[in-house]
Amino acid sequence: MNNIRTDLALEAREYYSEQNENPEIDGVEVEEYVDKQVMVTHVKVLNENGEKVIGKSKGDYITLEFTDFVYYDADAKEDVSQTLAKELSKVVKINDKTTALVVGLGNWNITPDALGPQVTSKLMVTRHLKEYVPDSIDEGIIPVAAIAPGVLGLTGVETSEIVKGVVDRVKPNLVICIDALASRRTQRVNKTIQIGNTGIAPGAGIGNNRNALNEESLGVPVIAIGVPTVVDAATLASDTIDLVLEDLMSESKKDSKFYDMLNSLDRDEKDLLIKQVLGQKMSSMVVTPKDIDMVIECISKIIANGINIALQPALTLDDIDKYLN
């Protein structure tokens, strides 16, 4: 697992299956189903062996996959938000005593890393209303607070220190962190949402790990929601080579030496060769699609609506939209 860069448990499990004849993993359960037009994959890491094999902490990882079409259709966006809310409700326990803190991780000055701050700007924030004007707000409304703490390079303060300070002061029952992730599959960039209940390490997607935000460090359950917005240059090169190899193999005779040679290429050897050819500087580059501005605006709205619906079960999406507008 150290040879690939991905934040998705789904991809970590796929990688193991590719490298082994038996795709089953002791300590990992997988459930797949379709909700409306969203492909949902629930990966459960059950024990230490599962943690070791796929490199993910014990817990639940729910992945939602959809197509580009979602960004251009209002009904499709609402469908994804509703599915996200439904899946989020499976790992979030909400009652009338709950106070939630939503943390938008990332750098708002860099578009592929601005997902977290964009989501927090679209949330239904209610904690101040419940505290200062309780008579003017419905009793069924859950107190929700939100922050976008920035990154170490902007603030000079570790994100974990800022979040810990707010948690100690606000005393939420639940923390939801939103962050940009990295994928090893170009087709999943900006088309995938992952929900996890094991917390998150800010910056992990680009190899810049900071102190983890999890139940152990914050003292309350931490849910992580992320979208892969980048792939590294080596992954992009690898996918390109895979497409070329598939095309060459489809045009070659299956009993030819050339076909056998192409079919025998080892993925690890190919990945190592790519990184050697790209060199240290290029192999550390990350790449994002050119329409990232539009995508971040759309997907942040999808995620914000999903969180709003899950945290405010007494309200409909129309009610939430009226509040925000």
pLDDT tens per residue across span 72-124: 899 999 999 999 999 999 998 888 889 999 999 999 999 999 999 999 999 99
253: tokens are 């005779």
The residue-averaged pLDDT of 5-11 equals 88
For 249, residues 6+ apart whose C-beta sits below 8 A from its C-beta are: 259, 262, 263
pLDDT for residue 207 is more than 60: no
One-letter amino acid identity for 169?
R
The 10s digit of each residue's pLDDT in 277-311 is 766 666 667 888 889 999 999 999 999 999 999 99
Enter the tokens of residue 164: 């810990």
**Which residue shows structure tokens 């095309």?**
247
Tell me the two tokens of residue 263: 């079919």
Q: What is the pLDDT, as a whole number, of residue 250?
A: 74
